Chain A
Amino acid sequence: DTGVSQNPRHKITKRGQNVTFRCDPISEHNRLYWYRQTLGQGPEFLTYFQNEAQLEKSRLLSDRFSAERPKGSFSTLEIQRTEQGDSAMYLCASSLGGRGGNEQFFGPGTRLTVL
């Protein structure tokens, strides 16, 4: 257990539905990241926050995706109008920031299946 939690662990939804995932980072970490991983591949960066500010978004993050981190604590990732291509493992990570070495600690992931 890395101290990063994600909910739900699994989500099955029908195409066109909206889904929302939650990530609770390690409490003293000010940076929070979302990645997506498909079968047989390494994780791909989606977006990251420093405190409550969303500082970078990948081109992978279409306008159907939105992420928030209110008050710089937990974060949510919402996917609207899901498509079958959104099926993947969504991973959240957090890091301490500052002069740290950017070690990122990952949660267990949310596996999304879009039917």
Chain B
Amino acid sequence: SQQGEEDPQALSIQEGENATMNCSYKTSINNLQWYRQNSGRGLVHLILIRSNEREKHSGRLRVTLDTSKKSSSLLITASRAADTASYFCATDRSNDYKLSFGAGTTVTVRA
């Protein structure tokens, strides 16, 4: 079953703008990860944030985690056409390594 839920389902922005998407989940987690998937391809790991962390950065990516609200956000700054993809959040639980994914946010970056 899908544990996470991304919002919005789709997002269209101009190149250079920032893109923000949110993920909510239902049960307590150990880690939360964000992945990118280009059309019809495999998933690329972007960033992992542990349940005891609140914010993490990697290049143009910023992830926040609020365990009290069971939610996370992914911010992509200064978007590029190459950022066009679907973005998924995935959670795992303590001593349970399988990932539970949401349905994803489809991001389109217009040139």
Tell me, rounded to whole Å, the shortest Cβ–Cβ distance linking B100 to chain A.
Answer: 7
> Contacts A42-B2, A43-B101; is A103 near B48 (CB within 8 Å)?
yes
Contact B45 A102 (CB under 8 A): no
Q: Which residues of B contact A43 (CB under 8 A)?
A: 43, 88, 99, 101
Query: Is A65's CB within 8 Å of the partner chain B?
Result: no
Q: With an 8 A cutoff between CB atoms, is A2 at the interface?
A: yes
Asked whether, in the complex, the Cβ of B45 is within 8 Å of the Cβ of A105, the reply is yes
Interface residues of A in 45-80 (CB under 8 A from B): 45, 48, 56, 58
A108 touches B (CB below 8 Å): yes
Residues of B within 8 A of A4 (CB): 42
Please give the number of chain B residues whose Cβ is less than 8 angstroms from any Cβ of chain A in the complex: 25
In contact, A102 and B97 (Cβ under 8 angstroms): yes
Alpha-carbon distance A2/B45, docked complex (angstroms): 9
* Smallest CB separation, B93 vs chain A (Å): 10
CA of A95 to CA of B30, assembled, Å: 15
**Measuring CB to CB, which residues of chain A are less than 8 angstroms from any residue of chain B?**
2, 4, 31, 33, 35, 40-45, 48, 56, 58, 89, 91, 93, 95, 97, 101-109, 111
Q: Which 7 A/B pairs are nearest by Cβ-Cβ distance?
A: A42-B101, A106-B43, A108-B42, A45-B98, A106-B42, A101-B48, A42-B88
Binding site for A on B (CB under 8 A): 2, 4, 30-31, 33, 35, 40-45, 48, 50, 88, 90, 92, 97-104
20 A–B pairs (Cβ distance < 8 Å), ordered by A:
A2-B45, A4-B42, A35-B99, A41-B2, A42-B88, A42-B90, A42-B104, A43-B101, A44-B2, A45-B98, A58-B98, A91-B42, A95-B97, A101-B31, A101-B50, A102-B33, A102-B48, A102-B92, A107-B42, A108-B42
